[in-house]
Amino acid sequence: SQTIHQWPATLVQPVGSPLSLECTVEGTSNPNLYWYRQAAGRGLQLLFYSIGIDQISSEVPQNLSASRPQDRQFILSSKKLLLSDSGFYLCAWSAGVRYDYGYTFGSGTRLTVV
Amino acid sequence: AQKVTQAQTEISVVEKEDVTLDCVYETRDTTYYLFWYKQPPSGELVFLIRRNSFDEQNEISGRYSWNFQKSTSSFNFTITASQVVDSAVYFCALSAATSGGSYIPTFGRGTSLIVHP
């Protein structure tokens, strides 16, 4: 069966420090991968998505970046965190291109920038 | 552009009451998918249901039921005889194919359901 792992679960970082959040999927190949951020208002904001190892699309301009060093690994990074980067970050994966079978989410990372 | 509106920000009910969560969507695509997800206090999003645009059949799963109406662009979710464990934030989502053929979901802002004992 497929599983998705996301870590760390919580993170407290000072302003200006770097960030690296990791997400890996097991039990499938060539998954579509997504990074979402959920701020205090509860809505889910799509940050990045990737439909292949060399294809990463950014939805929102910001000081965050994403990389996919391996087929089932998706990393969210920042060189210098801002206070506004605080939030709950969720990684998700989905299968297929012609059909949408739904999205499976990781357990999330709660980031607090202080 | 796709849009999902969950007009109810928060709903508070007493246990055993029925409750309906509204979801209205906008899309120009003829092929699309609709979803409901549950986010309990732990934070992880849990998949509840998927429906494609060609399947307007309503669905019932235990105490949960979903009413999909293309005529009103709505995909409402009803919980019958609510329980305290139903307390969570519920998200409605819509996805349609991009020009590259992949599906990107758009989520509503969520409805917080609080079930009091």
Is some CB atom of chain B closer than 8 A to the CB atom of A108? Answer: yes
Give the mean pLDDT of B9-37. 95
How much of chain B exceeds pLDDT 70, in percent?
Answer: 98
Q: CA-to-CA distance for B52 and B82, rounded, in angstroms?
A: 27
Q: Which two tokens stand for residue A44?
A: 């889910």
Min distance A69 CA to chain B CA atoms (Å): 20
Which B residues 12-51 touch A at CB under 8 Å? 33, 35, 37, 42-45, 47, 50
State the pLDDT at residue A93: 94
DSSP A74-102: EEEEESS--GGG-EEEEEEEE--SSS---
State the pLDDT at residue B60: 87
Chain A residues inside the 8 Å CB shell of B45: 90, 92, 103, 105
Does residue A41 surpass a pLDDT of 70? no
Does residue A17 surpass a pLDDT of 70? yes
Residue A43's pLDDT band (boundaries 50, 70, 90)? confident
How far are the Cα atoms of A82, B4, B19, B32, B94 from residue B113, in angstroms, in the given order? 32, 18, 9, 27, 20
Is some CB atom of chain A closer than 8 A to the CB atom of B3? Answer: no
Is some CB atom of chain A closer than 8 A to the CB atom of B101? Answer: yes
